[in-house]
Structure 1
Amino acid sequence: MMLKKQALLILVILSLTLAGCGGKSQPVNQPTQAAAVETEEAKPDEKDVGETPDNSVEIPVASDTEESDKNNDEGTQEAKAPSVSVTPTPAAPTAPVAQPTKFRLVESDGTVFERDTVPQRIVILSVPTAIIMDTLGIELVGITMTSRTLPPRLADLPEAGMPRDPNIEVIKSLNADLVIISTDFKQMNKAKMEQHNIPTYYISNQLYEDTFKSIEILGKAFGKEAEANQLIRDMRARENQVLNAAKGKPAPKVLILFGTADSFLMQKSNTYAGNLVAKLGGINISDQIKLSEVSTGNIPLNIEQVVALNPDIIFRISHGTAEETQQIYDKEFATNPIWNAVSAHKNNRVYDLPMNLFFSNSGLQVIDSLEHLAKLMYP
């Protein structure tokens, strides 16, 4: 009897042992998709094998005899992990490859001035352009010779000659990588500047709108667009006030005289002062005078035609020494009786215009010039 009990006990132990061996789960391959996107924080430490990490997926293990027999029958079939839905983490945005920034200016005749970098040592042979650049915060190293009053930062700059005659030696000593000159002087300077390998840009600054274009193109080229746009907005606001005040008023007939110590010229609407008169709605009688030859903006005075066209207003601009020219003007109008037949003279509407505003394009002061003329034309 005792032997039977012992044999039965041995059979039970063997059965339990076999059941335990058959119930062990087969090795589970790691799901490749999940492994590719799991972070280091989601992986269990080696010392914690057997525990279920918070971020991992628990795989059920067969524990009864029926599941054990099924696994044994399938032999080489591997246990499959349950499907895991993973949202991929977006890749960090890749910064665009920086392209070389080109410095680019285009002249009025279509000539393109281009450099790989923004010039740092700039010489300006134009007072209005120099003042624009100074106002935009663009540093200069040299400026044209002038008798005009300049802002403090420009007044102490080395003088590099005049637009008619740039001082090549000074420009080279300043290591200038850009010289800016008015287009009026391109033909007389182009060959010389190229001969000395001096990079030169010729800017249009003759007429009223040229100033706004200069502000815009220089601001864009030198990375000062915000400053340029604000400057233009302020000037346009003043311009609109002037034009609105003149709207609907009778257009006066105007004669613009440009005087020197030797002669008097009449200015047409393609000159700076003539352009301002036209913008204000004035009628420039010089535009109506017929000439046998092609003329520029300044034409010789023809007093007989002036009397025939009979201007309501005469504007006088002095060239050279203002005081000397002023005396010549006064003598001419006092001693030549033909002027008495002109309405402007009879009605005391002969005005001398300040040189700083009207001798040539006054740069940022063009709006001051416009306001000054408007007060005289539409009192």
Structure 2
Amino acid sequence: MRNRLSLVAVVAAIILIICCACGNTSSPAEAGSEIAIEDFTGRSLGFDHVPERIVALGNGEADIIYALGGNLVGRPTSELPQSLETLSEVKQIGTAHEVDLEKITLLHPDVVLGNSPMNTKDIPTIESIGSKMLLTSANSVHEITQQIELFGKLLQQEDRASELVDQINGQLAEYKAAVAANSPKVLLVYGAPGTFMAALPSSLGGNILELAGGVNIAADYPRLQSYPQYAQLSNERIVQANPQYIFIMTHGNAEQVKESFLKEMADNAAWNHVDAVKQGHVEILPNDLFGTNPGTRVMEALTLMRNQLSAS
């Protein structure tokens, strides 16, 4: 009798295990299936689980990962926008321009989110420490929505990513339907004290400007080889185009940059004949929205630009 009861218990245990296995509702990544993605350079990357330790080299990437509920263990060495203040204790690891490999190594990240083409050279180094580098870019609103979708797939948060993208596309559709009849001419400048460049339509700032209804007077300027989204300033062409607005974008100290730019204009009397100067329409744009990729906040940047262009 005792042997018979033992046999019954064993059979019951086996049945219970089989039932539990059949009822397993884990996500594909949790069940051992690989998460296969392709970054903006066409490189294929595979992950056997949802990355739990993520390093972002840019605030825009950090913003998107945060919005999708991902776990950031490393963030850029830069001032955080108010929307990301909760990440203030996250380790700072340099920037896309200057990667601090030693700090990144100590964090043991599953993946490092970098910029294409800027961080292409860093791929072998990141892979040498056992991590993977995922490269994207944000030279337009559309590319930011592509970033959101890609990171959503990486984190298995496709539904949340779709919600964020739908919000952006919905606002874009409303803006396109209400384009102003008279588009003001604008010079969009990016730089630091002593070094200034004109932003082309192929840059994020240039794309936002056009979507906001402005005319970029530097649209046909020859691009710089080292910074293909920007062009060298031409005093003669700027004066001839006579922009109604001049907007300045920067990573650095806003007031110092504006003061430096105004000094350069003062050294050339021809600038005094430009409408933007005569009307006092020379403004610094917020660096958290225009000096870097604003991530999910890109429509805030577009709204601000529209409001600036409608100012009297």
**In the alignment, is residue 179 of structure 1 matched against residue 112 of structure 2?**
yes
Moved more, 326-335 or 178-187: 326-335
CA distance in 2, matches of 1:267, 1:256: 5
**AA matched with 1:238:** Q
**AA matched with 1:107:** D
Cα distance, 1:236 vs structure 2: 3.0
**In the alignment, is residue 257 of structure 1 matched against residue 221 of structure 2?**
no
Which residue is equivalent to 1:144? 76
Which residue is equivalent to 1:272? 204
Cα distance, 1:347 vs structure 2: 3.4
Cα distance, 1:316 vs structure 2: 1.8
- 2:301 pairs, out of 369, 372, 375, with 369
CA distance in 2, matches of 1:124, 1:256: 27
Cα distance, 1:163 vs structure 2: 2.2
Work out whether residues 242 and 374 of structure 1, in 8 Å CA contact, stay in contact via their aligned partners in 2. no
1:68-217 to structure 2, matched below 5 A, reads 100-149=32-81, 151-217=84-150
Work out whether residues 107 and 204 of structure 1, in 8 Å CA contact, stay in contact via their aligned partners in 2. no
Cα distance, 1:296 vs structure 2: 1.6
SS in 2 for 1:314: strand
CA distance in 1, matches of 2:250, 2:76: 21
Work out whether residues 268 and 284 of structure 1, in 8 Å CA contact, stay in contact via their aligned partners in 2. yes
**AA matched with 2:244:** D
CA distance in 2, matches of 1:205, 1:226: 21
Cα distance, 1:153 vs structure 2: 3.7
TM normalised by structure 2 equals 0.81
Cα distance, 1:366 vs structure 2: 0.9
Aligned in 2, Cα 1:232/1:287: closer, same or farther, shift over 3 Å? same
Q: Percent identity?
A: 26
Work out whether residues 126 and 133 of structure 2, in 8 Å CA contact, stay in contact via their aligned partners in 1. yes
CA distance in 2, matches of 1:163, 1:220: 23
**AA matched with 1:236:** N
Which residue is equivalent to 2:220? 288
Q: What do residues 283-315 of structure 1 show as CA deviations (whole Å, max 9, x unaligned)? A: 212122357989722222110111222223221
Structure 1: 5+ residue stretches without partners: 1-94
| Aligned Cα root-mean-square deviation (Å) | 2.8
**AA matched with 2:142:** E
**AA matched with 1:203:** T
Cα distance, 1:375 vs structure 2: 1.2
Work out whether residues 205 and 290 of structure 2, in 8 Å CA contact, stay in contact via their aligned partners in 1. yes
SS in 2 for 1:185: coil
- 1:337 pairs, out of 239, 255, 269, with 269
Aligned in 2, Cα 1:293/1:232: closer, same or farther, shift over 3 Å? closer
Which residue is equivalent to 2:174? 241
Aligned in 2, Cα 1:175/1:257: closer, same or farther, shift over 3 Å? closer
**In the alignment, is residue 358 of structure 1 matched against residue 290 of structure 2?**
yes
TM normalised by structure 1 equals 0.68
Work out whether residues 113 and 134 of structure 2, in 8 Å CA contact, stay in contact via their aligned partners in 1. yes
CA distance in 1, matches of 2:151, 2:227: 32
Cα distance, 1:348 vs structure 2: 3.3
SS in 2 for 1:120: coil
CA distance in 1, matches of 2:49, 2:180: 50
Cα distance, 1:100 vs structure 2: 4.3
Aligned in 2, Cα 1:291/1:318: closer, same or farther, shift over 3 Å? closer
SS in 1 for 2:92: coil
Which residue is equivalent to 2:13? none
Aligned in 2, Cα 1:187/1:335: closer, same or farther, shift over 3 Å? same
- Identify the structure with bigger relative contact order (alpha carbons < 8 Å, sequence gap 6+): 2
- 2:151 pairs, out of 200, 218, 221, with 218
CA distance in 1, matches of 2:81, 2:226: 36
CA distance in 2, matches of 1:334, 1:362: 32
Work out whether residues 265 and 298 of structure 1, in 8 Å CA contact, stay in contact via their aligned partners in 2. yes
Which residue is equivalent to 2:229? 297
CA distance in 2, matches of 1:253, 1:217: 35
- 1:308 pairs, out of 228, 240, 243, with 240
CA distance in 2, matches of 1:140, 1:278: 33
Aligned in 2, Cα 1:289/1:217: closer, same or farther, shift over 3 Å? closer
SS in 2 for 1:104: strand
Moved more, 354-363 or 344-353: 344-353
**AA matched with 2:133:** T
Q: Which has the larger radius of gyration?
A: 1
Cα distance, 1:134 vs structure 2: 0.9
CA distance in 2, matches of 1:292, 1:191: 27
